[in-house]
Structure 1
Amino acid sequence: MRFFQFLKTSFFFRLLIFMLAVLFIPLIILVVNTQGAADASIQKQVSRINEQVVGQLMERIELTMIQLQDLGNQYGSFPTVLSSLTSTGSAYEDSVQTNYLSATLDIAASVFHNDGDLGLFRLRNEGLTTSSNVSYEDRERFSKVASNFLKSGKSWRYMNENVDNSGRSYYLRRIPFDTWQEAKGILIISIKNSLYRNLIQRVETDNKGFFTLVNAQGSLISSTNPLSIKDAHSSAQALLERWKQLGQSSQFLFNERLVLIKQSKQYDQVIVISEIPAEVLTEDTRRIRQFVQYWAVLLAIAGFISVLGFAFYLYRPLLAVRRHIERIKQGHFAPVKVAPAPREIGELSHTLNAMSVHMQTLLSDLKLSEELKRRTEIKALQSQINPHFLYNSLNTILVYTIMGDYDKIKSLMGSLLSLLRYSMEHFEQHVPLEQEIAYIDDYLHMLELRYERAFVLETEIDEGLEELLVPKLLLQPLVENAVFHGILPLKELNGKLILRVARITEGDQISISLTDNGKGINEFELAQLRMGLLLEATGMHIGIRNVWDRIRLVYGPEAEYEFTSSIDRGTTFLFRFNNKLD
């Protein structure tokens, strides 16, 4: 588990992974693209050759059909054929004509080298004369085919029988050819499907595939597929179905075979199907793949060793630099010994050393400057308190002097001396909370003598916070503000102030609040007070401004304040801050 944690956080491991990725990702892309390009190139070449072969085969088939048509036209107008369609009136003469016709048909059939036969169907007596090699079953089939053709009303037709029947194709020609003349006979040219097989086999091909010929209805004419006739027929049906689904696309992949289908635009629209197994396509690319993979493995091994060595060469000085940076982040700016390293990394180490020394000097100067600034600001804020307080105190003594009340003057002078001694001793230091409260008691006693009104201070302090260190004279501006702006305007009211000091449960936060029973502050003035503290405005609410500034200087910018007030019911000033003085 620790090992995997080390790998997760190790700079060397991440550097190694990055460099290996830089090496292997382009290498993998190169291998994949090379193999893909080889496959595409060979498939394109095979497809082009296949297109040429199928086109050549289709040309041979259509040429054969043209020859059949020419042969039909030639013998359809042959005198012996035409004369046999009309009876001579003599049985002997008719027999002689039939013998001449049979000999003529044998001559014509010899063109096909036992792959074809001819026949003439006479309408006058529904007689059929064929070449000599036609069997009785084929004669019956000839008569049936001729009858079906006659019903079509066409002048000629090329048609195929279903493979489960005879495995033959037929070219039929009406005699006479023109349909406006009365038909007298039908010339039948029968082609065995072996002729098409010979045509396929004579087509030179290096693609090691096989061909299938079907008619427009999908019936098998001939095939070089090594499957049985039934399976070859089923395979052809599936390919034609897929071909139609793809919008009769000429070439497509089907069951790991490259299939090319082309349909003749002439005669009976015969369809040629070429199939090339997938292993034929990949046979030529296998050697290329092996060659590319062999060199890819060699390059990967060599690259891995090189990357490992280079990464280790960079690892040690970079690790030293990283540790140096970590020390700087933790506040340790002492220079470190620079280990031997490549030039750039060595310069970086020297630069870090110089930077850390400079940063140490700057931080020392900044710390001293901030401390002097903080002390100066606290002095300025405390100096705002003393003149203001002295003015009010001396003004009170003056009033009693005029009145000649020497007992009160004596009491006031005693309280004033006690307050001045407290404010002047140990200047700038923080004092325990209980001393600050004692100071507030003396201050309120002096105000009672001056205004002849009672001012009661109640305290609610959490246990253990009596010794809480607070800035000296922190509470006096709050008490003065509560008395002069809240209680004294209500002429007949004795003053009551409640000081609450509590420890907030979340974290080490302290809250100090002072509540009076004075006249209160309306919402508009309260909003002005909050806005003045937010915008750090001067010239208004000097006492509250002074307390808030001192709290932020001593306890930090995280300090918060909250002011609430109700008319004729009093005002509460609350401050929250993190205790940083214990």
Structure 2
Amino acid sequence: MALRTTFLRFLKKSFFIRILMLMLLVSVLPLIGLAYLSMQAFSDTFEKEVNKLNYQVVAQMNERIDLTMTRLQQLSFHYALLAPIENALQSPSHTFADFVRKKELITTLESGIAVMGDVQSLSLYLRSEEHIISTYESYMQISESAYYPMLNHYIAAREPFMFYDLDRLEAAPQLLKQSSFFLRKIPVGSEDDFEGVLIFSISNKQFDNLLKNIHTDTSAAAYVLTPGLNIVATNNTWPDEEKRMRLESTLREWHEQGEPKQFQHDGALISIQQSETFHRWIVLSEIPLKEALSNTAMIKRTVSVMLLCMITIGLIITICVGYYLYKPLQSVKRQLHMIKQGRWDVRVPIRVNNEIGELGEMLHATADTLQSLVQELRKTESLKRRNEIRALQSQINPHFIYNSLNTITMFAMLKDYAKIKEMMTRLTSLLRYSMENMEQTASIQQEIDYLQDYIHMLQLRYDCQLNLQVVIEPEYREKLIPKLLLQPLIENAIFHGILAKETNAGTITLHIHTAKEHPQLMELIVADDGAGMSAQRLQQMESQLMNAGSDDNIGLKNVWERIKLFYGPQCEIALSSEPMKGTIITMTIPKEKESVHSEEDI
């Protein structure tokens, strides 16, 4: 992955590669432009033809529906004047005449269905008899007929004629789900008075059959809708809820655009027309734009493949030329990368007989020279650090011995021989631990035992009660640390903390545990309840710890320098203190020693 990235970067920067790419672009770009313009012109022309054809289908469908509705209206007016209809509205004089009248009426109604063709059934409501005669139902009481709710609604509307479709579903739910109805009154005298009502039924299935022949593509769809967006007929097989949401979105866009005859919406070509006749039905057809232009896909793919082949061949040639130049230069870069990482013994072969090969040989010679210099520098640095560590440790023992002898001198002046004896015993034990243990590291438990003797000596000297509390996780008791690392911290806590508070008692707490946020580290915490220090003094001490040239706070500074030299850059130290509340020193060091220095260096 790195080599590919480097090769691509080389291709971007190479002047020769840029010239090749420019020549490739000059030859290919005009072809791409010409192909694009040709395909765009073809797509636009094809889209216009599809739009035109789609709108013609919608217009013909709407014209067919309007013709049916107009013929229905004309037929209703004509039938209202027919003699059999007028005879049926008159009260019969005897039973035979009534039979003849009904027979003649049924024949007339059936002939009307035959003449109209699109009518499903034809019925006549006889107001005087409260009966209905229909090709759909036999002669029966109007109250028992399925037409009864719709007829009551129509009479209450006081209109000469009305059209019932799905928008008026509440008038006759059982009938209007499958059919649409045209009702016309047969007036007597005034317009409000009538003798009967002609009822024409049109099945919605005939519109479904008509729409099935419009689109053969399953993704295209056509609809016949009522003004209330109820679907009279459609060839769309989507679920009803999806169809309704789609229609609402489309018609909302249609109204927002000013009700155009054609528009694009949601990736589809929409053709729509609403009838101007009494039914006001809407005919809508939509064809997905992607599928409408699917016939152009083959041409586009052919042209695109040809252009892609030309560009690919040109790129392959460019890359091959670039790789011929890149390979020896990449070897030189890899050799430089090895030198940068300090891997002086690695030699990257550069097998070219030209200037780049000579440059590679010079790099190999340079790597040999640098390797020798670095090895010498490492030896010198190791010796320097060893001397620094021993110098730091040597500053601890004289400082402690001086304080101890000063205490014994004080007891000698007081002629307190018992305390002198005990002090000498403790001092001998401490010196034996310091001198006989030739190793430069000690376990934490040994350091704690040493601190117990040390604190007992100070109790004898200052006649005070010093309490050392040790809280340590068991796994760290045998952990090795630089010898005499903790003693200067305890000494500072006593002399600059507890004794400075001018009390005869004090507590020093030593916590050793795993760091909470970093399990690979451990924390050594020394806390006292002494005099503490101000924020200004605390900031000054922190600055002195970070300043390599400072000679103040030599005890704490020596501890910090020894930790850094022994454990490396991962170790940290933190100070916190408040006046009269004590001081806390927290040192964070790795559990496992990662420094380049051996234990002999410390």
Q: TM-score, normalised by structure 2?
A: 0.47
